[in-house]
Structure 1
């Protein structure tokens, strides 16, 4: 076991360290975090606008009026979430270079809008919201990275207008950003013109056909999801934040799939995807945190004899209910503990397979695309994420029991070790 651990550590730690410190993945992660409060706000109102049986209580006409009144909440947030992510990435990447971050965010947004066709059903000057949401996110992410790098390049070359002393700081900074932003946006305008002469007509069509569609198809499948879950668990085992590392790569795919389900849910159509952002966040992470450690806490109360585990259970339970599990990860511990390596890695994979089968066969509704806050307690989150379906809560309860069964013998061994050490130290 020690030899195996050493091999894993030597292979994975350098890779994880590089990913964790990569400036682009960091900007991508932080860019999504900028948009998160807005996404959650929109998701809350999607839930409120689709409360079960409300149409029967107040009548279909009143229900339609009610939905129309709440509609702008999601239309102004979820439907154009790509814009917030683009601004966030441009801002955060520029900030890493020590430059005026707000101009990096503004340049990223303007660059993306230059590339976006402003025609809807023959009407000019109208941007389809589908281009501003999750479907346009791949192009938005690439655009944000490139525009921030161009802005940084032109600024560091000192291709700027320097104002004389005494000019207000805000005015001086604005003029200093003028040439770098002008050159950056001009290059994106040239790119748009070039693509207008290709068979794709727009860069959106090119990105979707060549890159986004194949990647999204791959990310929506069970094998790719299992790989992502495995990587999350392995990284965490070595004390690295697996969620941040893996989600930086998969979030654009999962959010796109999420948005497709949300649009279908709002239109009353069949939901197209099983694997979405909420598939991961609600039915895996959303059951006590990464590794579904709420099941471990319940087991501690059931079978724990050692003082160490009992105290850990009391400490970890309040946080675990809201899916915060650092007390368990570092207190059990899970990090670098070979005794728990097998259940830590196996349990999430088993739950991924169970959840995928339950949803793909129709036993449980697929995630409705509603972004449920990750701190929402289990059962409630399962109910909300599936569009207010009780089956989602039942699936979470079943999954917790499965995790408890997988962990039982390993936690028993760990508890026995702690108990015997405590007995010997008291002699």
Structure 2
């Protein structure tokens, strides 16, 4: 088995290294991470409101909500300044991180990327309103130039406004495309030295903005021409096309059982060979499952139907605490002194989802005896949790919980206090623990009191 693992490592490590070191993927990953302070603040505000509104409502304690209505309103304002504008936050960060790759002015690059994104989403908002009674709708909206009546619905077009539906999670994929396009044009123009040059006596604080004028001009006009031509040729905004053709299909694919289990499998496979699976898969996790998480957050805040059954928070709620299962199996069945000592020392970090001490101290990394359960256990956890969510046995994850939240509590908070998530988390933990038990016993018989 060790020979096969060596061959697999030889093939896998270069691929993972290329993915992890690809500079544009690194910039994309860092841009997602950079938005976390604002996103987590908005998520905490929403979670507090769930404590004050939704949880008391389940037990009829409306007096709690009334008493803390002031805090509910403040949290609503904080939420409004975070997740609903996530595309604006992200694209500025992307412009900054691309500029870091080219070693040019980061602030100007971020601003140009942000302005280019606003250009690409157009200057009109479209609102579709459905009516239960469609009688006299045409007469009611007769003479309203920006209204189109079709059956039982009216489509309103409002010009010269920034559409709120374009700057939230719906605009993520457009932000990625436009962000790379605008910032790369800006950076390459800067590197070619197509800039306005000022005398050396001019202060640097003035020189930098002036040097960015021509690159910013070319980047923004490129996006503006693209947006205009695309609208003329297709009759729809670029952001609407991207959402329909790219974002919606990819998000739909992410909701399949195969996609969920594949992500878990790859994450654990990379980790087994000592490669940070989370970092390597970050562009996929945040670019697809992360977008689904934000869409669920917005739907929950608006009181609408939850659009996605599985998102990035679902992995944390029901899968990524598999390290706890390993330690429980060791403390329950192992007689290996080294294993038991590492399990005792590693229990505290693992309870806060910090698995590196166990992964490298036991070790799990490159340990052929633990390869099978390390892969199979989390995949089974994901399978059970996915099935339970699809069958409606547990509420989909709607809250973005900090990654250091202890297991079981993570699922409870992430599902907005669905008690059934506690049961599901325990079931997943038990399943993974039972998967580890025979291999832990095998390690006892194979290595005795010595480390592998």
Q: TM-score scaled by structure 1?
A: 0.92
- 2:185 pairs with 1:155: no
Question: How far apart, CA to CA, are the structure 1 residues paired with 2:8 and 2:329?
Answer: 29
After TM superposition, give the deviation of residue 200 of structure 1 in Å: 4.3
Separation of aligned partners in 1, 2:194 and 2:7? 50
Q: Which residue of 2 aligns with 1:110?
A: 115
**Are 2:113 and 1:100 equivalent residues in the alignment?**
no
Task: Describe the superposition over 1:347-375 as per-residue Cα deviations: whole angstroms up to 9, x where unpaired.
Answer: 1111111001111111111112x110001
Q: What residue number does 1:377 align with? A: 406
* CA distance, structure 1, for counterparts of residue 237 and residue 285 of structure 2: 25
1:379-399 CA distances to partner (integer Å, 9 max, x unpaired)? Answer: 221111001111112211211
1:133 to 168, 173, 180: 168
Alpha-carbon RMSD: 1.9
- Identify the residue that residue 359 of structure 1 maps to in structure 2: 389
**1:12 shift after superposition:** 1.5
Q: Which runs of 5+ in 1 are unaligned?
A: 423-427
Corresponding residue for residue 230 of structure 1: 265
Q: How does 1:21-32 map to 2 (within 5 A)?
A: 21-32=21-32
Query: Is it true that 1:39 corresponds to 2:44 in the alignment?
Result: no
Take 2:319 and 2:279, find their aligned partners in 1: how far apart are those partners?
A: 15
* CA–CA separation in structure 1 for the residues paired with 2:408 and 2:449: 36
Q: Is the 8 A contact 1:308 1:418 kept in 2?
A: no
Give 3-state SS (helix, strand or coil) of 1:343's partner. Answer: helix
Taking the aligned partners of 2:3 and 2:445, their CA distance within structure 1 comes to 25
Shift, 1:178, TM fit: 1.2
Q: Go from structure 1 to structure 2 and tell me whether the alpha carbon gap of 1:57 and 1:179 turns closer, same or farther (over 3 Å shift).
A: same
Q: Distance in 2 between matches of 1:62 and 1:259?
A: 29
Structure 2 distance, partners of 1:383, 1:197, is 49
The 2-side partners of 1:395 and 1:306 are apart by: 31
Q: Give the corresponding residue for 1:257.
A: 292
Could you tell me how far 1:180 is from its partner in structure 2? 0.7
Correspondence for 1:320 among 330, 341, 350: 350
CA distance in 1, matches of 2:351, 2:450: 30
**Runs ≥4 in structure 1, deviation > 6 angstroms?**
60-65
1:406 aligns with 2:435: yes
8 A Cα contact 1:117 1:202, kept in partner: yes
Find the aligned partners of 1:306 and 1:10 in 2 and give their Cα distance: 30
- 1:238 positional shift: 1.2
Mean Cα displacement is larger for which, 45-54 or 132-141?
45-54
2:285 touches 2:312 (CA, 8 Å); kept in 1?
Answer: no
Contact conserved, 1:282 with 1:382, CA < 8 A, in 2? yes
Q: Quote how far apart the aligned CAs of 1:63 are.
A: 7.2
| Pairing partner for 2:249 from 208, 214, 234 | 214
1:288-338 deviation per Cα after TM superposition (whole angstroms, max 9, x unaligned)? xxxx10111222222232221122112211111110000111111121111
| Aligned-pair CA distance for 1:48 | 1.1
**Rg larger in structure:** 2
- 1:265 is displaced (CA, Å) by 2.1
Secondary structure of residue in 2 paired with 1:293: helix
Judged with a 3 Å threshold, the aligned counterparts in structure 2 of structure 1 residues 281 and 104 are, in CA distance, closer, same or farther, namely farther
TM (normalized to structure 2)? Answer: 0.87
Deviation at 1:259, TM superposition (A): 2.6
2:76 alignment partner, one of 71, 94, 102: 71
CA contact (8 A) 1:134 1:255 kept: no
Which residue does the alignment assign to 1:425? none
**Contact 2:337-2:449 at 8 Å conserved across structures:** no
C-alpha displacement at 1:255, in angstroms? 2.1
- Identify the match of residue 337 of structure 2 among 303, 307, 310: 307
Structure 2 unaligned spans of 5+? 128-156
Counterpart residue number, 2:17: 17
